[in-house]
Amino acid sequence: MAEDQIGPAPDVTILGAGIVGIMTALSLTERGFRVALIDRNPPAEGASYGNAGSLSPWSCVPQSMPGIWKSVPGWLLDPEGPVALRLGYAARFLPWAVKFLQAGQVDRLPAIADAMLALTRPTVTLYRHHLQGTGAEELVRDSVYVHVFRNAADADLSRLAWRMRTERQVPLEVVNSGALREIEPALSPAFEAAILIKQQGRALDPGGIGKALADKAQNLGVSFLRRSIERLVPEAEGAWRIETDAGPLQAKRLVVAMGAWSGKLMRDLGVKAPLEAERGYHLVFKNPGVSLNNAIMNVDAKFVVSSMSAGVRCAGTAEFAGIDAPPDYRRARVFKQLAKRMFPDINIEDTQEWMGPRPSTPDSVPYLGEVPGFANLYAAYGHGHTGMTMAPKTGEVIATLIAGDVVDIDMTPYRIDRFG
């Protein structure tokens, strides 16, 4: 797909051809803009490629919650735990971690939840809109999101995270072990209860969805250029020079949508916006011998399992090691035993490992909109665990801003300078 040159001078240049960049390109094209996408990799191969498969219109609970600090030491000491921190990275990680814990204060949660929900709520509708005519429409299915518990008492809607959802009219249902077995027959009887989040979408092939949408964008005239982006240089009259590994490029308007790699570009411009490359792993069981009807969250172990086109995918974990550290695929291999405990009949022998860095802000809210102090520069990154889900609305918001129209959500929570 990649081209050797951008072609006719684009109105908007998007840096990053992951799902956020692709969705932004489609929304801009719908509004009549000429668009170019630049990335060192082929389209749709970023963090969203390894998505767990849940397209949740109801994602409104941030990663940082009150009291989470009490669980972190145990997670770090557990080889199968959901969080890992490489010791050599601890000092660099600390400033972000402090802001992360501050974001979990009770009084900050309502605004964070509302900001997340504004981006996630239309996700299934917008995916279906953009997938029309691609031949990939069936890659998004209606679903429920099944949160399973080994102890039935833990399926408690009075707990804070579930109250936050209830207050926002998220459709929830608690089911016992008998009903759970009817919904997911392959699940171990050790799980006594579940909370169902209804009216969900499920991605059968997150990477395939991204590729189909990238093809659609190219057919609509979007240019794709393979380059490694090194630096951004503001020029006269609001123009930009993009320094790349193959020489400079000129741009009228820039959208930074490079996921975890966005942080360095912005720091080099003097923009202070905390961002961590939160490395997520997945393991695909290519011949699983079982099939799941929905995406299933193991609440105790903090990972998600879903049947996809390529097999059963287990995804999760948060490893903090720096963006350039080599993968530690032991983080993916722990899913073998975790999956076996969930699904006794699953075949765990034929697997494929993957790692990708999530671009995570301390408050789980992305950076969106105009960058103060710089003309014609827009941020569209920092989506963390919900990049696949938030991407369609993100693209719509950025395209609306560039078109000079009124955005239908309050942009204050997404400001890139909100952490000072």
For the stretch 113-141, pLDDT in tens is 999 999 999 999 999 999 999 999 999 99
- Cβ neighbours of residue 267 under 8 Å, at least 6 residues apart? none
Asked which of 360, 379, 398 is the last residue of a domain, the reply is: 360
CATH code at position 347: 3.30.9.10
In a domain, 5, yes or no: no
Q: What is the pLDDT of residues 4-46, one digit of tens each?
A: 456 668 999 999 999 999 999 999 999 999 999 999 999 998 8
pLDDT digits (tens, 9 = 90+) for 191-239: 999 999 999 999 999 999 999 999 999 999 999 999 999 999 999 999 9
| Judgement on whether residues 351 and 220 belong to the same structural domain of the protein | no
Domain range for 390 is: 12-48+208-273+363-414
Same domain membership, residue 343 and residue 282: yes
Residue 165 shares a structural domain with residue 303: yes
pLDDT by residue (tens digit) across 319-337? 999 999 999 999 999 999 9
Can you point out the beta strands (E) in 191-332? 193-203, 223-226, 229-234, 240-244, 247-251, 254-256, 276-285, 295-298, 303-308, 311-320
Tally of domains within the chain:
2
Q: Is residue 4 part of a domain?
A: no
Same domain, 198 and 304: yes
Q: Is the pTM of this model over 0.85?
A: yes
198 and 212 fall within a common domain = no
- AA letter at 289: G
- Largest Cα separation within the chain, whole Å, is 67
> Read out DSSP for 102-131?
HHT-GGGHHHHHHHHHHHHTTHHHHHHHHH
Q: Are residue 133 and residue 91 in the same domain, yes or no? A: yes
Q: What is the pLDDT of residue 7?
A: 60
**CATH number of the domain bearing residue 398:** 3.50.50.60
Give 102-114 pLDDT, tens digit per residue: 999 999 999 999 9
The dihedral through the CA atoms of 11, 12, 18, 23 has a sign that is: negative
In this structure, the answer to whether residues 135 and 228 fall within a common structural domain is no
